Amino acid sequence: MIYIVSPGGTQEKGGMGRVVDNFTTDFRQNCPDVRFEVVDSYGPGKFHLMPLYFMRAVARLAGCFVAGKADLVHIHMAEYGSVVRKGILIAMARAFGVPVVLHLHGGRFPKHFKDAGPISRWAIRRMMAMTAEIVVLGEFWRDWVAEAFGPEARRRTTLLHNAVPGPASPPARDDADKDFAGPVRLLFLGRLIKLKGIDVLLNALASPACRDRNWEVTIAGDGDLETYRGLAAELGIADRVRFTGWLDQAGCRRELAAAHVLVQPSMFEGLPMSVLEAMAEGLTIVATPVGSVPDAIADGETGLLVPPGDVAALSDALVRVIDDRTLRRNLGAGARARWERQFDVAVFRERLLDIYRRHARGSLSAVPAGAVGPAAVPAAGPTGNAERRTG
C-alpha cells in the first residue's frame, strides 16, 4: 500500500490539494491495480482542529507501519508548520524502514530555511537526508535544493511538474470572431492575500492606460475579500470587478472556459495550478516569473511575463493582450500546445509511477511502464534529464 500524505487530503482548497486530487483521481480511473490511501495531516483548514487531524494521521500511519502494510509514503510538504509535522512523519517512517518520497510545494520554503536558526536548519537537513527521493516542481526548485542541501540531495532530486486534466480541445471563445467588441474578460484564480499580488493587479487595471480599455475582471478565491473590494472601490473600478469567493473545481473550470486572459501577478509560487489549468484551456496568460512559472510560460510564446510587484509593467502587458486579439490567439495556442507536451496529467501519471517503482518495498509490476498513451515521454530518474527533453 502507498500512503499519500497531504494537508487537507484531496479537499484542501489550494494548489497542493488540487495536485493530489488530480493524480489520485487519475489513478482510480487508469491504474486500478495501484493500491493507495490518502492520509489527511491537517484537516479542513481550521487551525484549532489541526492537532486532532495530525494525531489521527500519526496513529493511522504508525499502525500501518507496525503491521507491515506500507510499501511507500508519498509526503506533500509546504513550509513553516508543515515542515515540523512532515518531519515527524518522515522520522517515523525511517524508524520502520518505510521509503519516503518527499514532494516539495512551498513557495516560501527557501525563506523559511534561510531565516531558521542553526538547530532548525540542522533538523531540516536531517529530514531531507532521510528521504529516498525529493520531488520538486521545476528547475528553480531543483537548483535551490542543490544549493541548500548539497550534491547528495541533488542526486536524489527529481523534477516533476504539476499537471492538470484538460478538455480534449480548448473551448471556442467569442473573441475569435473578427466582430468581437469586448469586453475582454480577465480572470484571477487564487487566495486573496498580498503575496498573490491582488493589489498590484487592481492598481494596474486602474492605471490610465488600462482604465480606458474595454475589460472586466473576475477575482476568484477566498481570503481578504473586503480589503480588495474596498481597494477596487477606492480606485474607481469596482463596477468592473467581480469577486466570486472560493470556487470548487467545477466553478474554476466554468470561469476558465468563460475567460479570455488569466492574470497571475504573484510574488511567490511553486508552480501554480491556475496557470496550468489556463494552459489546458488555451487561455492567454500574463504572469510573473516566480518559482517554476518560467518552466511553463515562455515570454512571447506561451504567455507574457512581467516582474513581480511592477504595476507599470503589468499594465503594459494587459494593454497588449486587451488590444491585440491575434496576440491572444497565438499565446493561447502556444500555451495549449505546451500543456499537451508537458503538463497533462497523463504524463504526470507515468513519471510518478516510475518514482514509486524505484522505491516501493512491494511490487508495482502489475502496472506496466510507459502506459500513458500518445503523450508518453521517457520517464525521468532522479537527475530529471528526460524532463528537460519535453519542453
How confident is the model over 193-251, as pLDDT tens digits? 999 999 999 999 999 999 999 999 999 999 999 999 999 999 999 999 999 999 988 89
The answer to whether 72 and 356 have CB atoms below 8 angstroms apart is yes
The answer to whether 167 and 339 have CB atoms below 8 angstroms apart is no
Residue 366: is its pLDDT beyond 90?
A: no
The answer to whether 90 and 100 have CB atoms below 8 angstroms apart is yes
pLDDT in tens, 34-72: 999 999 999 987 889 999 999 999 999 999 999 999 999
113 and 135, same structural domain?
yes
Residue 17: is its pLDDT beyond 50?
A: yes
What's the CA gap between 305 and 294, in Å, rounded? 8
Residue 368: is its pLDDT beyond 80?
A: no
78 and 181, same structural domain?
no
Tell me what the mean pLDDT of segment 88-101 comes to.
97
Overall number of domains in the chain: 2
C-alpha cell of 380? 525521468
DSSP structural state of residue 189: E
159 and 84, same structural domain?
yes
In a domain, 306, yes or no: yes
C-alpha cell of 148? 541548500
In a domain, 89, yes or no: yes
Instruction: Tally helices (H) and strands (E) across the chain.
Output: 17, 12
Buried b (16+ CB within 10 A) or exposed e, 139-175: bbbbebbeebbeeebbebbbbbbbbbbbeeebeebeb
348 and 260, same structural domain?
no
Instruction: Tell the residue number behind the cell numbers 493500491, with chain if given.
Output: 35
232 and 122, same structural domain?
no
CATH number at residue 358: 3.40.50.2000
List the domain range (segments joined by +) for residue 191: 174-342
257 and 212, same structural domain?
yes
In a domain, 168, yes or no: no
143 and 184, same structural domain?
no
Integer CA distances (angstroms), 194 to 115, 197, 313, 375, in order = 20, 5, 18, 37
In a domain, 331, yes or no: yes
378 and 306, same structural domain?
no
Compare 273 and 378 and report the one with higher pLDDT.
273
pLDDT in tens, 343-365: 999 889 999 999 999 999 876 65
Give CA angle at 24 (19, 28), nearest 5°.
155
